[in-house]
Amino acid sequence: MKRFDFSVLAGLVVFLATIATAQSPSLLFSFPCNGSAVCPDGYFPIALFESVDGNFYGAATGGGTGLNAQGTVFKITPSGQLSVIYSFAEQPNGSLPYGAAPTSLIEGTDGFLYGTTLVDGANGLGTVFKLSKTGTIQDLHDFCSALTCSDGAYPAFIQQALDGKFYGATGPSGFPADVLFRISSTGTFKVLHTFDTKSQPDGGGAFGLLQAPDGIFYSTTVAGAQNNPFNSVFSFNPTTSAYKILHGFIFPNYASSNLAQTANGELFGLKTNSLLYQISTAGKYRQIGVLSSTQYLDGEILFASDGNLWGNFQGGDCSDQGMVFAATTAGSVLHNITFDCNTVGQQLGPMIQAADGKFYGTTFGSGVATTDSITNGTIWVIDAGLPKPSPNVVNFAPASGKVGAKVLLQGDHFVGTTAVSFHGVKATFQVLTVNYISATVPSGASTGTIAVTNAGGTTMSTKSFTVQ
């Protein structure tokens, strides 16, 4: 009889244990507060992104330093060293001119940080701000408080589009209006669309904006009508301002996450009670299935470097802990990673996959550094053993140009880019943000696709750049 090699079994056990450990969330940073409930780094982190400088930046909705501090913007290294860039604190006259309780933060192509605050500013109902990485802040726009004002109130987010402008949404609140807006880096502001928060199936506010290769934004509205929630998937053309509802949802299963898009253009999102759905850009809809039997508050969804959908279920308190999941586009669940509120935190916020292949995200509460009066929040990391993500080239502008012309590439996972080429000819380039690269049409280039290379591989654009 052949003897069984127990060393093989031991190796398998070690391997499986390594995988299990790798897929468990680890604490990167827990926001500390002292016995007087003073939290100098902030608390309730709400935003996180990877910067071209190799660090992560984010915002916390409360805490900070200074008089009546109400939120921070921070930088954190991949090893977990956090430093505060700016605290939203009262001026000597008692005002908070730049706002309070930041709700979003991004990196602009000009190297500045841009974000929104939920409240305060000149009119008390939120601001759009511009902040240098050294802490110099500018107020770009104050949302107004008059009932007849069309600017909206309580901004939720902004993000930069291929045209260089910033787009965002206010609400959901219904007061005085929930709107889509556009704003320039110098503060020129315009309302583009007012949501119908009273009538099905529109809704109010939005779960971010996804700009697809066709240049059109796609998203879902946040549920309107508190007692009988409804919302929708919509498209918005930033050139023509055409707004179109693609699909409506009603209670009890309404949309509750952002949208993620595959390379072939299909959109995926989450509904309440952990339901995954798919919808085309033309509005063809199908419900796929339930991803968890224990979760009902959904949050983020993205496509990861393994080709699968990853995301999170927000969860509630410690008795209803949040979860990070992985699933195929057919709805087969691959992973359900539960969070321990006493160590890694509770109420999951935004999550990203960084250039190293790991997932990073925030929780709104708990973690190891808590006090009796504040549940602080955390920043966490999950190493699921995924490969480093290759670039995702979505679009570029202009569509044609001469040798020496500047071309702006739009996509994702651009941090760590090592090469850009035009139809096989290497170009000089500068990575501006995780989503944008500025490249120069090289001498010898001819009409063809644009390729971007990083540690995860090389990806080519789906359309050709015309060399004039």
The residue among 193 and 229 whose pLDDT is bigger is 193
Three-class SS state of 445: coil
pLDDT at residue 426, as a whole number: 98
- As a whole number, mean pLDDT of residues 113-120 equals 97
pLDDT digits (tens, 9 = 90+) for 440-450: 999 999 999 99
Q: How far apart (Å, rounded) are the C-alpha atoms in residues 107 and 322?
A: 28
Six-digit token pair at 67?
A: 């008089």
pLDDT at residue 384, as a whole number: 95
pLDDT at residue 34, as a whole number: 81
pLDDT at residue 273, as a whole number: 87
Quick check: 157 and 168 in contact, CB under 8 A? yes
pLDDT at residue 460, as a whole number: 96
pLDDT at residue 297, as a whole number: 67
Count CB atoms within 10 A of the CB of residue 188.
11
Q: Which of 112-126, 127-141, 144-158, 405-419 has the lowest mean pLDDT?
A: 144-158
Q: How far apart (Å, rounded) are the C-alpha atoms in residues 251 and 272?
A: 9
Quick check: 314 and 286 in contact, CB under 8 A? no
Q: Residue 221: which of 237, 200, 239, 190 has the closest Cα?
A: 200
Q: Is the four-CA dihedral 385, 105, 184, 137 of positive or negative sign?
A: negative
Q: What top-level class would CATH report for the domain 392-467?
A: mainly beta
The residue among 23 and 311 whose pLDDT is bigger is 311
Answer whether residue 9 shows pLDDT above 50.
no
Query: pLDDT > 90: what percent of the chain?
Result: 75
pLDDT at residue 374, as a whole number: 57
Q: How far apart (Å, rounded) are the C-alpha atoms in residues 297 and 451?
A: 39
Quick check: 345 and 9 in contact, CB under 8 A? no
Three-class SS state of 274: helix
**What's the pTM?**
0.92
* Single-letter amino acid code for the residue at 76: I
- As a whole number, mean pLDDT of residues 67-77 equals 96
pLDDT digits (tens, 9 = 90+) for 276-322: 999 999 999 999 999 987 776 677 899 999 999 999 988 766 666 78
* Single-letter amino acid code for the residue at 139: D
Count CB atoms within 10 A of the CB of residue 91.
11
Band of the pLDDT at 1, cuts 50, 70, 90?
A: very low
DSSP string covering 239-266: TT--EEEEEEEETTB-B-S--EE-TTS-
The residue among 240 and 20 whose pLDDT is bigger is 240
Q: Are strands 155-160 and 137-142 parallel, antiparallel or unpaired?
A: unpaired
pLDDT at residue 367, as a whole number: 66
The residue among 150 and 366 whose pLDDT is bigger is 150
pLDDT at residue 149, as a whole number: 78
pLDDT at residue 340, as a whole number: 83
Question: With left for phi above 0 and alpha for psi between -120 and 50, is residue 265 left, alpha or beta?
Answer: left
Answer whether residue 56 shows pLDDT above 60.
yes
Domain ranges across the chain: 18-382, 392-467
Q: Any bridge partners for residue 411, and if so which?
A: 393
The residue among 392 and 374 whose pLDDT is bigger is 392
CATH topology for 18-382 is Neuraminidase (2.120.10)
Q: Residue 174: which of 199, 145, 204 has the closest Cα?
A: 204
Mean pLDDT of the chain: 90
pLDDT at residue 16, as a whole number: 37
Answer whether residue 18 shows pLDDT above 70.
no
Quick check: 300 and 257 in contact, CB under 8 A? yes
Answer whether residue 210 shows pLDDT above 50.
yes
